[in-house]
Copies of this chain bind each other. A is one copy, B any other.
Amino acid sequence: MEKDSIIILSGGMDSVTLLHYKKDKIALAVSFDYGSNHNAREIECARRQCELLGIDHIVIPLDFMGKYFKSSLLEGADLIPTGRYDDENIKSTVVPFRNGIMLAVACGLAESRGLKHVMMANHGGDHAIYPDCRPEFVEAMSRAMQCGTYEGITLEAAFTNITKSDIARIGKEIGVDYAMTYSCYKGGERHCGKCATCVERKEAMAEAGIDDPTIYEED
């Protein structure tokens, strides 16, 4: 199989699962440091997973986001709301057009390195809150990437229409070590267990029948 793809790798459950799932097609993993509370811990997980698989990994800083963008995710752990993703207050954690920006940069990188595809691990559970995770965004962005490059680079978002629990089931099947992934929006040494990403992480592992290796603050 040709290694002709770049993956956007946060270091969370979803993108780490995609990394393992498509490892034979991935030439480069790219993580973005946009200055969120949890970026450093996520990126350390991304680095270790790539090391494990022998896949090149680079980190691209997007410092301007912290300076100019509006999101509670960029403003300190105390402002991160607790609760589920379907609550209105979770909207404050959205970083405007984050996926659009990461995809555009990854697309330019792909064209620079002669690669053909960009992979992203958005999933069905993201659709309600995040407009830049929805199928219509994925389709339009793929078309923009294809039209805007010589090589006609395309976006492959394999998890767009499945849930995080489905992703965890795939991960269980292929043996992903979820202890080496990080989700919590508060960014502490331990996962808080209460923010929307922690709640979602716990539920997905429970539904997939995985013995959750995460140590939560509340335990």
Number of interface residues of A (CB under 8 A): 42
Copies of this chain, whole number: 2
Residues of B with C-beta under 8 A to A108: 65, 69, 95-98, 100-101
B137 touches A100 (CB 8 A): no
Residues of B with C-beta under 8 A to A65: 108
B60 touches A68 (CB 8 A): yes
Residues of B with C-beta under 8 A to A210: none
Mostly helix, strand, loop or mixed at chain A's interface?
A: helix
Q: Which residue of B lies closest to A129 (CB)?
A: B150
Q: Does A147 contact B (CB under 8 A)?
A: yes
* Chain A residues engaging chain B, CB cutoff 8 angstroms: 58, 60-61, 63-65, 68-71, 95-101, 103-105, 107-113, 131-132, 134, 136-137, 140-141, 143-150
Query: Can you name 30 A-B pairs with beta carbons within 8 Å?
Result: A61-B64, A65-B108, A68-B109, A68-B112, A69-B108, A70-B112, A71-B112, A96-B107, A96-B110, A96-B149, A97-B107, A97-B149, A98-B108, A99-B148, A100-B104, A101-B101, A101-B104, A101-B105, A104-B105, A131-B147, A131-B149, A132-B148, A137-B144, A137-B148, A140-B140, A140-B141, A140-B143, A140-B146, A140-B147, A143-B144
